[in-house]
Amino acid sequence: MEIPQGLKERYQRLLGQEMGPFLEALLRPLKPSIRINTLKGNLWDIQNRLEEKGLKLSPIPWCSWGFWVENLEEESTLGNSLEHFLGEIYIQEASSMIPVEVADITPDMRVLDMAAAPGSKTTHAAQKMENRGVIVANDVSIHRIKALTHNLDRIGVINTLVTTMDGRRFGRLLSNYFHLSLVDAPCSAEGTVRKSFRAWNNWHPKVHKKLAETQKSLLISAFKATIPGGTIVYSTCTFAPEENEGVISYLLDHYPCHLEAIHLHGLDTHSGLPFWETERYNPQVKKAVRIYPHKNEVGGFFVAKIKKEEESWAGSKTDP
């Protein structure tokens, strides 16, 4: 598969000297990875059973339940296993485990997962919360909601309400309500090409700006739905600055909030970009992290941890 020329040029500007290793890594297939589900059993028991079956597991440093499967090329082998059927494992890309790992989740929280389907982050959050507190898992797509509810059932999640609506409505419906909001935003998915080349097939230079508008609205809605002093974790699986730093910078410039630094054991990150093309972003975006596939043998990701100021209201700095 050939990378679209326009995208290649963007990556050259984005990565400079690291372009070679970056492109090589993008073309290498991804190692399958799993999260062992402690809602259904003991970590060591499940891990031992999988190893007795011949799977070679190596720990993902930033998630104590996460493992790469070193001796499987096909993810489908895992998907057809008894452990998967019983909900003892969740097949999840290693970088997709980052947003919940950085979120400081505790069992007593009210959590919003605004774009939740098919449920990687929701099931991960429920596991962290030991099925206590409450999660509202929302997605606008009825089709994808089916996969979400199936996964919640399979994983044994009982602290989660599922809603199907446009995430942009939460800010008004439930303002200042959630301790934590996750916005795992719809994006151009450039970081997923190690699994499928669909993102390259669908790429067009105009796509980033259009997506950024939706992402900004979703993030503002999540900001409004979060209590003062609460946390919003924004993530995408794309490299496009318009959909990442551009969106975060807009929130920082217009709403009372700040970014917190992100450090996870064993994760090699690049700082968020303070500028891109003609854009100059809010300098705080440097605290967000870019995860590149040539650094961690993962898919691409972007994560920002946002704190809503204690002394804040649901509106923007410019609201009357």
Ligand X SMILES: C[S@@+](CC[C@H](N)C(=O)[O-])C[C@H]1O[C@@H](n2cnc3c(N)ncnc32)[C@H](O)[C@@H]1O
Least distance (Å) between residue 19 CB and ligand X: 26
Least distance (Å) between residue 70 CB and ligand X: 24
Among 166, 174, 286, 287, binds ligand X (CB under 6 A): 166
Q: Using the rule CB under 6 A, is 116 a contact of ligand X? A: yes
Among 10, 35, 110, 121, binds ligand X (CB under 6 A): 121
- SS3 for 164? coil
Q: Using the rule CB under 6 A, is 246 a contact of ligand X? A: no
Q: Which is nearer to ligand X, 50 or 237 (CB)?
A: 237
For residue 187, indicate whether it is catalytic. no
Total interface residues for ligand X by CB under 6 A: 20
Is it true that the peptide bond before 32 is cis, omega within 30 degrees of 0? Answer: no
Residues with Cβ within 8 Å of 186's Cβ and at least 6 positions away in sequence, in order, are 115, 211, 214, 215
Span 57-86, contacts to ligand X by CB under 6 A: none
Q: Which long-range contacts (CB under 8 A, 24 or more apart) does 100-103 make?
A: 100/124, 100/125, 100/128, 100/182, 100/233, 101/62, 101/63, 101/264, 102/233, 102/262, 102/264, 102/303, 102/305, 103/180, 103/182, 103/231, 103/233, 103/305
Least distance (Å) between residue 139 CB and ligand X: 5
Q: Say if residues 176 and 309 touch (Cβ distance below 8 Å).
A: no
Span 180-209, contacts to ligand X by CB under 6 A: 184, 186
Q: Return d(Cα 63, Cα 70) in angstroms, integer.
A: 17
Q: Which is nearer to ligand X, 121 or 128 (CB)?
A: 121
Q: Which of 144, 143, 151 is nearest to 135 (CA)?
A: 151
276's tokens = 């891109």
**Contact letters for ligand X, residues 8-47 (x by CB under 6 A):** ----------------------------------------
Residues with Cβ within 8 Å of 290's Cβ and at least 6 positions away in sequence, in order, are 239, 244, 269, 270, 271, 272, 273, 300, 301, 302
Q: Return d(Cα 94, Cα 191) in angstroms, integer.
A: 12
What residue type is assigned to position 95 of the chain?
A: S
Q: Return d(Cα 160, Cα 165) in angstroms, integer.
A: 16
Among 144, 195, 254, 307, binds ligand X (CB under 6 A): 144
Least distance (Å) between residue 60 CB and ligand X: 16
**Contact letters for ligand X, residues 208-237 (x by CB under 6 A):** ----------x-------------------
Among 32, 87, 119, 256, binds ligand X (CB under 6 A): 119
Enclosing H/E stretch for 122: helix 120-128
Least distance (Å) between residue 234 CB and ligand X: 12
Least distance (Å) between residue 122 CB and ligand X: 7
Q: Using the rule CB under 6 A, is 118 a contact of ligand X? A: yes
Q: Say if residues 252 and 245 touch (Cβ distance below 8 Å).
A: no
The stretch near ligand X (CB under 6 A) out of 66-74, 114-122, 262-270, 274-282 is 114-122
Q: Say if residues 89 and 230 touch (Cβ distance below 8 Å).
A: no
Among 25, 105, 125, 140, binds ligand X (CB under 6 A): 140
Q: What residue ranges bind ligand X (CB under 6 A)?
A: 96, 114-121, 138-141, 144, 166-168, 184, 186, 218
**Which residues are known catalytic residues?**
237
